Amino acid sequence: MPVTFTDDLDRDSLRLALQRSLHYVRRLPPERLLPFAGHHITAAMQRDTLETFLDILDQAPTAQAFDTAIHEQFDIVQTAGLKGQGDVLVTSYYEAYLAGSLQPTAEFTYPLYTRPVDLIEIDLARFRSDWSGERLAARLENGQMLPYFTRREIDFENILRGRDLELVWLRDRVDGLSLHIQGSGTIHLPDGQLMRVNYAASNGHAYQSIGQFLIRQGRLSAEQVTMQRLQHYLRTQDAEQAEILSHNPRYIFFRQVREGPVGSLGLILIPGRSIATDPRLFPATGLAFIQTQQPVLNATNQVVGWKPLSRFVFNHDTGNAIQGPGRVDLFWGSGHAAEAAAGRLKHQGTLMFLAKRTAQSAAR
């Protein structure tokens, strides 16, 4: 049964996300190939897709006319999903809002590091064409290229201490974990100023889920693993923090930004419109349509129910944990309400990418 393209968010956010996608794709070489669910499209084709969608957005007088135009002018490709049947796991992320200090104090003891000067990023495609999209992070020691330091070495063995890499100081490692997972945040400083930080680089180690680790250990159930529950558990298990947090060797370095949060394409993310998917499978700035469930919050940011979510989104970001055709991460926004909603969204859904129909595709 054909999907009906109804959008549950405002047109202003849709137009803004679309314009940011267009700004990015218009700067790409027209012939550049972008992955598209098992095959490739050119950047020129992606630009045409977005420009056609903008025309429909401007010209369709009714919701029915809009839906009809989408079906007439686009090829609609549903992602294969986790089991090859279109079943996508939808999660959500947010811009963290935390307290911090530019200097270490009795209250703020955990350093958030900037990118170290000895961190080397290697694009393997420069060595072999079939390694396209593969990258390494390394360091040079005694003439040898070695993996960069792990989370255990950085957080618990203090291997980077004394290098003047501290960007800001947070209350504890749990607040640090929030930023490492979300990739961006706003830090409220003691003098009232706000400092925005964003992902700068990683140490290159593969991401390992702390939540899944605790589930396998029998310490938490799958139903309990929300961001809020994980934070609470870690704060009550101080003696075990090194073991738990070190299970994930991946470590994130940050930079200060004037505006944000900024996704992997260098674009400012749009709440409810920007998504992260696997960049090996889906095109940068790709136009997509997502359907799942979303939480309903009360005045104190407690989840009191669930309702359908149905909207157009754009592929503006990536995430190390977001891999394969059955995963998508939706950026929810900033602040405590966004944290409450994003931390609890972990639902099945569908994800469809749209591409402007060509004569060749129409003939198939």
Per residue in 22-53, pLDDT (tens digit) is: 999 999 999 999 999 888 999 999 999 999 99
pLDDT digit string, tens, across residues 311-350:
999 999 998 889 999 999 999 999 889 999 998 899 999 9
Instruction: Please write down the HEC assignment for all residues of the chain.
Output: CCCCCCCCCCHHHHHHHHHHHHHHHCCCCCCCEEEECCEEEEHHHHHHHHHHHHHHHHHCCCHHHHHHHHHHHEEEEECCECCCCCEEEEEEEEEEEEEEECCCCCCCCEEEECCCCCCEEEEHHHCCHHHCCCEEEEEEECCEEEECCCHHHHHHCCCCCCCCCEEEEECCHHHHHHHHHHCEEEEECCCCCEEEEEEEEECCCCCCCHHHHHHHCCCCCHHHCCHHHHHHHHHCCHHHHHHHHHCCCCCEEEEECCCCCECCCCCECCCCCEEECCCCCCCCCCEEEEEEEEEEECCCCCEEEEEEEEEEEEEEECCCCCCCCCEEEEEEEECHHHHHHHCCCEEEEEEEEEEECCHHHHHC
pLDDT digit string, tens, across residues 136-171:
899 999 999 999 999 999 999 999 999 999 999 999
pLDDT digit string, tens, across residues 176-205:
998 998 899 999 999 999 999 999 999 999
Task: Give the pLDDT mean for 284-307.
Answer: 95
Higher pLDDT, 103 or 136: 103
CATH of domain 107-256: 2.40.240.50
363 has pLDDT over 90: no
CATH of domain 11-91+264-363: 2.40.40.10
Residues forming CATH 2.40.240.50 domain(s) in the chain? 107-256
Residues forming CATH 2.40.40.10 domain(s) in the chain? 11-91+264-363
